[in-house]
C-alpha cells in the first residue's frame, strides 16, 4: 500500500515540485491549494510526469478550511503518513516600518498554518506510532535577512516550534525534519517586491536585500532538488533534524554559525554597498556582487 503524503501549497514552486517528485517515488500525494483554479500548472506537470496528484482545497490560514480539508483527506485515504508543511508567504519591511498586521498575516500562514496542519494529523500518527512532519523553513530561518523582518521572524519561529516538536514526538515514533531552502526557482520572488521605505532611513537594507535576491534568482536551483531532499528526510534510516538545500543555504548557515554576534552586527554598519558585498562573500562564501 502506498504511503499517503500531504503537501501544502502545492500549486507552485517547491510545493508543486515536491508533490510531483514524491508521487514519482510511489507515494499517494494529496496536494493542497486555496482554489482549484490555481491547479493548472500542477496538473500539467503531473500529467507530464505520468503521476496522479489528488487535489484538496485547503487554506492553511483558516481554521475551518484546515479542518474541512483534512477531513476530506482522511475520508479518502484513511490516514496521513507524511505531512509536508510547505505553504508560505514572504514579507518585506524593516522593524520600524512594519505594521503589526503584516507580522500577523505572515505568521498566520508560515507558523500558525503549519501548526494547524500538524494538529490535524498528529492524533492518528500517534495512534500508529509512525509518521513524518516536514516543515519547510528557509535559509532565513537561521540567518536574519535584512529588510524582511516579518518573513524571517516567521521562519525563526517555525524552526523553534519544530525543535520543540521533535522532542515532543520522539517518544511516539514520529520524526520531524526542518528543510532550509536557499533560493530556488519559485513564483514567491516575483510576488515579493514591496519595500515600504516610508522614512527613507533604510534605503541600504532594502537595496542590499533586493541585490541578494537578484543574484539568487540568477543562480536559483531547481525546486525538484528540494523535493528530493524532502524525500530523503522522510525515508532516511538515520534521519537528521535539519536539511539545507539550494543556492546559498549551506554557506550562509555554516558561515553564520562561525561568526560572532559582533561580526554579524558589524556587517550591517558598513556604509558602502561594495564593502557589504565583500564582507558577505568573505563570511558566507556567496557572492551577491552586482
Q: What does the pLDDT look like over 242-252, one tens digit per residue?
A: 999 999 999 99
Average pLDDT over residues 157-179: 98
How many CB atoms neighbour CB 81 within 10 A? 21
> Which residues, other chains included, contact 77 with Cβ-Cβ below 8 Å and sequence gap of 6+?
4, 28, 30
pLDDT at 185: 86
- String of DSSP letters for 253-277: HHHHHHS-HHHHHHHHH--SHHHHH
- The pLDDT value given to residue 197: 77
**Pick the catalytic residue: 21, 103, 112, 151?**
151
Task: Flag whether pLDDT at 132 surpasses 70.
Answer: yes
Strand-pairing partners, residue 120, are: none
Q: Looking at the predicted structure, is the pLDDT value of residue 143 above 90?
A: yes
pLDDT(193) > 90? no
Q: Is 171 exposed, middle or buried (0-12, 13-18, 19+ CB in 10 A)?
A: exposed
Q: How confident is the model at residue 151 (pLDDT cuts 50, 70, 90)?
A: very high
Residue linked to cell 490555481: 38
What pLDDT does 191 receive?
58
Residue 275 to residue 273: CA distance in whole angstroms: 5
Task: Please check the confidence at residue 206 and state whether its pLDDT lies above 90.
Answer: yes
Q: What is the mean pLDDT of the chain?
A: 95
- CATH numeric code, 4-199+222-248: 3.40.50.720
Per-residue b/e over 198-226, b at no fewer than 16 CB within 10 Å?
Answer: eeeebebbbbbbebbbebbeeebbebbbb
How far is it, in rounded angstroms, from Cα 86 to Cα 92?
A: 19
Average pLDDT over every residue of 72-97: 97
What is the value of pTM for the model shown? 0.96
> What is the residue extent of each domain of the chain?
4-199+222-248
> Is 151 part of the annotated catalytic residue set?
yes
Cα within 13 Å of Cα(290), Cβ side: 8
CB atoms within 10 A of CB 162: 22
Cα(90)–Cα(266) distance, integer angstroms = 26
The secondary structure of residue 148, as a DSSP letter, is B
What is the reported pLDDT for 198? Answer: 78
Percent of the chain at pLDDT exceeding 70: 97
Amino acid at each position: 500500500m502506498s504511503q499517503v503524503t500531504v503537501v501544502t501549497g502545492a500549486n507552485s514552486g517547491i510545493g508543486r515540485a515536491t508533490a510531483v517528485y514524491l508521487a514519482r517515488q510511489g507515494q499517494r500525494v494529496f496536494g493542497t491549494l486555496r482554489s482549484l483554479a490555481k491547479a493548472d500548472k500542477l496538473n500539467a506537470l503531473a500529467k507530464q510526469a505520468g503521476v496522479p496528484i489528488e487535489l484538496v482545497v485547503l487554506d492553511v490560514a483558516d481554521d475551518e478550511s484546515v479542518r474541512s480539508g483534512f477531513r476530506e483527506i482522511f475520508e479518502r485515504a484513511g490516514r496521513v503518513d507524511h505531512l509536508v508543511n510547505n505553504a508560505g508567504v514572504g514579507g518585506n519591511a524593516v522593524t520600524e516600518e512594519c505594521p503589526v498586521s503584516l507580522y500577523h498575516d505572515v505568521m498566520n500562514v508560515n507558523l500558525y498554518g503549519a501548526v494547524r496542519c500538524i494538529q490535524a494529523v498528529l492524533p492518528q500518527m500517534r495512534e500508529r506510532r509512525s509518521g513524518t512532519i516536514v516543515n519547510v523553513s528557509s535559509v532565513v530561518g537561521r540567518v536574519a535577512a535584512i529588510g524582511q523582518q516579518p518573513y524571517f521572524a516567521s521562519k525563526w519561529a517555525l524552526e523553534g516550534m519544530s525543535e520543540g516538536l521533535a522532542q515532543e514526538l520522539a517518544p511516539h515514533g514520529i520524526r520531524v525534519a526542518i528543510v532550509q531552502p536557499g533560493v530556488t526557482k519559485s513564483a514567491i520572488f516575483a510576488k515579493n517586491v514591496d519595500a515600504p521605505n516610508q522614512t527613507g532611513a533604510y534605503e541600504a537594507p532594502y537595496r542590499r536585500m533586493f541585490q541578494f535576491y537578484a543574484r539568487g534568482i540568477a543562480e536559483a536551483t531547481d525546486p525538484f532538488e528540494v523535493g528530493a531532499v524532502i524525500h530523503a528526510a522522510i525515508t532516511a534510516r538515520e534521519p537528521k533534524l535539519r536539511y539545507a538545500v539550494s543556492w546559498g543555504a549551506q554557506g550562509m548557515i555554516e558561515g553564520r554559525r562561525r561568526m560572532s554576534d559582533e561580526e554579524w552586527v558589524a556587517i550591517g554598519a558598513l556604509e558602502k554597498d561594495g564593502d557589504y558585498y565583500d564582507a558577505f562573500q568573505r563570511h558566507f562564501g556567496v557572492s551577491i556582487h552586482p
